[in-house]
Structure 1
Amino acid sequence: MKVEGQAWNLDVGHDTVENVIQQTLVPSGTAAAELLELELADPVSSTGPRRVEPFGPPPAGFRPAQAPAYTPARPPAPPQGPPPQVAPPQVAPPQPPPAQATPVPTPHLVPGSAGERRLQAAVGSEQRAQRFYRDQVLDRLNEMMIEFIGRMDMAFVASADSGGECDASLRAGPAGFIRVLDPYTLAYPEYRGNGVMASLGNISENPHVGILMVDFVQDLIGLHVNGKAKVVEDADLRAEHSGLPTDFDRGRTPERWVVVAVEEAYIHCRKHIPRLMPIARDRPWGTDDTRRKGGDYFAAKGMPRPWNPVEEPPALSGGLPLPGGDAPSEGGR
């Protein structure tokens, strides 16, 4: 059959054209008045396919057959006689507890941070970085690192509080003032005079520290040691490690120690390390010049700041030492 030049596919296994057309028209959701009866009618019940895709529109003037009136079915009558016996629920027998799984050891974390690896990928230095991690980064101190630390007379210590606010400070002393307790542990002293406790305060909130030791004189090389730190009183550490030094220069008596569990140890290359020449230092212990003693070298005293806008009282005459006999700390925080 053709309608307005369009062929219709009637090979659907039905005996009448009316059945085919009823299955072809699918409710559109925007029915016109003449299609309202179809869209409200019951679905067509048939053993054939539910939908046939036509090659053209249905015949002009077609109107589907009237759907039968809907009559709700009555619920079945309840059965007569005694109620059926309900079997008691089956209780499963208790099962033996599952065997304990063998704990899987936690793998060591790879060196570096996620930020490092993202930037390595961005600039194309992944292979070079992987070679450095593989060849130069250790999780402990080897013999040459221990010897290097034993002749260092200063170190730079980086720390941060729980909010990520950072401090970098210098620690110095006679060669060997940083003590290697074992290949996985080192300690450095906190001398009298450090009253601000910025680094120690950071460690009390966030144990992660980074230490950089540099040989500016002989080999022009540096050593990084990263790890987790804790603060230990001098007497407590001596009770565990009797080999700690007992003869100290003036002003270098340890009050407490920072003990660091080593997590990473690696080289700092010599490319940009300047060569320095050590000379004897003349400490102006007896001077009254506050600037020479380092107490207010940058003339910050008396300047307004957000946390203390009120003008501070003038300094004591002659830059006298602070109560307790100590001059203003010339060390780091």
Structure 2
Amino acid sequence: MTRVIPDHPTPTGTAESALLDLELSDPPTRNDAWLVTAALQHHPLLPDTPPRDPFAEDRPDPLPGSAGEHLLQCAFGTEKRARKFYQDQVLDHLNRQMKEFIGRMEMAFVATSDARGDCDASLRAGPPGFVEVLDDRHLCYPEYRGNGVLASLGNISENPHVGILLVDFVTDLIGLHVNGKARIVEDADLRAIHPALPTGFDRGRTPERWVVVRVEEAYIHCRKHIPRMVPVLRQRSWGTDDVKRKGGDYFGAKGTPRPWHQPEPVGSPER
């Protein structure tokens, strides 16, 4: 049986097709991949100590990105494309189009790491505009009562660097990266500085605190591999501690042995 793939409307975003060449290239063949790997293994720019940025002395103003990515650009031969992307697409602030984009997003993927570099990626979601743009160089998002682990906030308390990815899966099929340094601010303290923060929240939740991010890099994520999705109504019952209604032990982790697991004594009451 022939599989029929339904037609979808062409994305209506303003990104030019040439932008795809800035971020993505044709995948290497098996032989090409081997040559790249071999080149990296013996590349003279690879020291035993932390990598030296090959572009550090090349220009008076530092390029965006890390010494590691600049090093690999040299090893992979992508310096020209990377510099064009830095030049054309990477800002150190939010422009008007970025602010508008953030204002209609309903999801954000947040990446953090602790002082040792151990990473965590988390999803934040809410109604359009739940990520608030404070000005050209600052945005914030609310933190609500959750499972009490506070993994992202714990990382931020040790290491302020955060990476945020916002994606339009529905209309324009485009994404926005925002990287910067974050700090944790209590709700009342932030409202004292920004009284225009919203007072009505999704499902009646009230933020306990906010994560305020000072923007250092903002740039496009091209649409080539972003899937199109269709939003549906979410009718779920919340405001409960019933684990089954919240998803329960979906992945079957409860009771599985691990180093930090403390089994409950036999006959202990249900919580």
* Unaligned segments of structure 1, at least 5 residues: 1-106, 323-333
- The code of the aligned residue for 2:87 comes to R
Normalised to the residue count of structure 1, the TM-score between the two structures is 0.60
Partner of 2:88: 135
> Structure 1's 306 and 249: CA in aligned 2 closer, same or farther, altered over 3 A?
same
Shift of 1:276: 0.3
Instruction: Give the distance between the partners of 2:251 and 2:238, measured in 1 at CA.
Output: 19
Q: Which of the numbers 191, 207, 219 marks the counterpart of 1:238?
A: 191
Rg larger for = 1
- The code of the aligned residue for 2:143 comes to E
Normalised to the residue count of structure 2, the TM-score between the two structures is 0.73
Shift of 1:287: 8.6
For residues 245-285 of structure 1, what are the alpha-carbon distances to aligned partners after superposition, in whole Å with 9 as ceiling and x for unaligned? 00123252111000000000000000110000000012134
Instruction: Give the distance between the partners of 2:234 and 2:70, measured in 1 at CA.
Output: 44
Q: Which of the numbers 211, 215, 227 marks the counterpart of 1:258?
A: 211
Q: Does 1:167 align with 2:120?
A: yes
> Structure 1's 316 and 279: CA in aligned 2 closer, same or farther, altered over 3 A?
farther
Q: Does 1:186 align with 2:154?
A: no
Q: Which of the numbers 107, 123, 133 marks the counterpart of 1:154?
A: 107
> Structure 1's 226 and 218: CA in aligned 2 closer, same or farther, altered over 3 A?
same
For residues 213-232 of structure 1, what are the alpha-carbon distances to aligned partners after superposition, in whole Å with 9 as ceiling and x for unaligned? 00000000000000000000
Contact 1:212–1:222 (8 Å) recurs in 2: yes
Q: Which of the numbers 200, 208, 211 marks the counterpart of 2:153?
A: 200
Partner of 1:145: 98
- The code of the aligned residue for 1:245 comes to P
- The code of the aligned residue for 1:126 comes to E
- The code of the aligned residue for 2:180 comes to G
Question: SS of 1:250's equivalent?
Answer: helix
Q: Does 1:270 align with 2:223?
A: yes
> Structure 1's 316 and 289: CA in aligned 2 closer, same or farther, altered over 3 A?
farther
Partner of 2:165: 212
Question: SS of 1:254's equivalent?
Answer: coil
- The code of the aligned residue for 1:244 comes to L
Partner of 1:303: 256
For residues 157-215 of structure 1, what are the alpha-carbon distances to aligned partners after superposition, in whole Å with 9 as ceiling and x for unaligned? 00000010000000011100000000000000001224111100100110000000000
Aligned residues: CA RMSD: 2.2
Structure showing the higher helix proportion among its residues: 2
More off after superposition, 291-300 vs 214-223:
291-300
The 5 A counterparts of 1:61-76 are none
- The code of the aligned residue for 1:276 comes to M
Contact 1:192–1:251 (8 Å) recurs in 2: no
* Unaligned segments of structure 2, at least 5 residues: 1-59
The count of corresponding residues between Structure 1 and Structure 2 is: 212
Instruction: Give the distance between the partners of 1:314 and 1:169, measured in 2 at CA.
Output: 35
Shift of 1:124: 1.2
Partner of 1:8: none
Shift of 1:289: 6.8
Runs of 4+ in 1 over 3 A off after TM superposition: 284-292, 309-317
